Structure 1
Amino acid sequence: MSLRQQLKGTGVALVTPFTNDFQVDYDALGKVIDHVIDGGVEYVVTLGTTGETPTLNKEEKIKIVLYTYDKVNNRVPVVVGIGGNNTAEIISDLQTYPLDKAIAVLSAAPYYSKPSQEGIYQHYKALAAVSPKPVLLYNVPGRTGRNMTADTTVRLAKDVPNIAGIKEASGDMMQAMQILRDAPEDFLVVSGDDSLGVPQIACGMDGVISVIANTLPKQYSELVRLSLKNDFNAANAINKKLLNVYDLLFAENNPAGVKAYMAHQGLLQNKLRLPVTPVSDALYDKIGKSLEKL
């Protein structure tokens, strides 16, 4: 089975729960992993941006990866996030992190440095050359400050054998359609925007790496499966119920929004590491009421 087939559907970018003294809460992480797998997601992504990786040190990251492998216990594939804006450091991480049980590596485009398209291309080419696992590109200009164009994505897809797909989170439908039109047939293209999952799958995407699936895995993974079956009437019926949730999730910050939902569900403590803070009291109350309506 190809990687594209194995990662078709819903992946969830796992949050990192913290205790009241801001240590990694492994008991809660285990509860979250069971929650999303029991909810029907097809795979999990550990150490994604939603996992607050900028505030985790290397020792914590490695421990989280190992714990995730053990807790998942081969129930679903695991993708590991390894990205940043120091190419040499990421190369070192790719060579030293425990990736033997990972199906792929998800690597966000370099942030803050705002490299040219050629710089982005050379960055990913260098990572792919050393990665022991297939590399999935991650275009998220809202966080990185630089969009990776469709031309650059397609160039990497065609030129570099170890680059196997992309999480496309630019929110640009035209760019998404250009990638789908021009990329190789076996190139995985998934959405990074929960609210655009239905229309982007309608255009040909293979699924979504989701934030909302941390809190509502059953509903969102069913929405994605229905969309992949071209049952858009049923998918849209679910999507309409989730529209308010999409807004509340990202109203102030991600993952502050999704952690607020999960705190209401009793899955974790509503704790985040600075500079990210919990949502305001007003938004927290709105989130609780939206859960009651669902």
Structure 2
Amino acid sequence: MQHKFFGTGVALVTPFDAEENVDFNGLKKLLAHTAEGVDYFVVQGTTGESVTTTKQEKADILKFVKENNPKNLPIVYGIGGNNTAEVLKTISETDLSGVDAILSVSPYYNKPSQEGIFQHYQQIADKSPVPVVLYNVPGRTASNISPQTTLRLAQHPNIIGTKEASGSIDQALEIARKKPEDFLLISGDDMLTIPLMALGASGVISVMANSFPVIFKKMVKAALDNDYNTARKFAHQLHDINPLMYVESNPVGVKEALRVLN
């Protein structure tokens, strides 16, 4: 299972039309475009505007991706929140056939203790019919999953990895050096991907891969091959545009990049 998530995952944006309905024609184009480079799709993560899409939109988007997956790439689906009971209910009510794992964000707003985070994920992992990837993004959740909590959770047989977006190299190093061999450390920050891979990360779940899937694929593959001279050259190509992705809140920047490229 874990080998499916080596390389480049793309946190797919959700295209909308002028009437604020999901633009499925646009989504189909995006799937074809990103499939030219990425290794797996992440559907309805933060970049997909999961906190504001409706339950029906989420179901329709997931169904559409399953049916319009041009290279039959693995699918990771975002199911998370700060209400543990509601997350468990959503898992039980979601058609996860054809889904390879769920990505579950650490509880936001509540600012839970480390034990609270641990218990939240334990329940999710116990109930989920597919493997679970943790998602640590303190800049959005207002709390951090400590390396110690991540390593505790890594012992659960249904928790296969973490998307680490804390921005802390020290934290990533602590996870990398103590994690089980088959537990995935996945970069959640595009421009920290190469440093994290040098420490032992398996790849990235990327925002910019929506716009530049082939460059990201080449960069990550080079790093996986321990060819950091080549990986660095691709990273340098992306360096100047990366800050523009976040002048406004994600995914505004990457959607504008896609519009320009279209």
Whether these two folds match at TM > 0.5 is yes
Q: Deviations over 1:158-190 (max 9, x none)?
A: 1x2111110000010010011011111110110
Aligned with 2:142 (options 137, 142, 145): 145
Aligned length: 262
Deviation at 1:258, TM superposition (A): 0.2
In percent, how many aligned pairs have the same letter? 47
Secondary structure of 1:79's match?
strand
Letter paired with 2:246: F
Alignment of 1:148-163 (within 5 A): 148-158=145-155, 160-163=156-159
Q: Deviations over 1:227-261 (max 9, x none)?
A: 11111111111111110111111122210000010
Aligned with 2:33 (options 32, 35, 39): 35
Secondary structure of 1:106's match?
strand
Letter paired with 1:127: I
Deviation at 1:204, TM superposition (A): 0.7
Secondary structure of 1:72's match?
coil
Aligned with 1:192 (options 179, 182, 188): 188
Deviation at 1:68, TM superposition (A): 0.5
Aligned with 1:115 (options 112, 115, 118): 112
Distance 1:98 1:64 in 2: 12
Secondary structure of 1:225's match?
helix
Letter paired with 2:239: L
Query: Which has the higher Rg, Structure 1 or Structure 2?
Result: 1
RMSD (Å), alpha carbons: 0.8
Q: Given the alignment of the two structures, is residue 130 of structure 1 paired with residue 160 of structure 2, yes or no?
A: no
With structure 2 as the length reference, what TM-score do the two structures score? 0.98
- Structure 1, unpaired ranges of 5+: 267-294
Q: Which residue of 1 aligns with 2:201?
A: 205
Aligned with 1:101 (options 98, 102, 123): 98
Secondary structure of 2:51's match?
helix
Letter paired with 2:182: D
Q: Which residue of 2 aligns with 1:89?
A: 86
Distance 1:200 1:47 in 2: 24
Letter paired with 1:156: L
Runs of at least 4 residues of structure 1 off by over 6 A? none
Distance 1:54 1:184 in 2: 32
Distance 1:236 1:250 in 2: 22
Q: Given the alignment of the two structures, is residue 171 of structure 1 paired with residue 167 of structure 2, yes or no?
A: yes
Secondary structure of 1:221's match?
helix
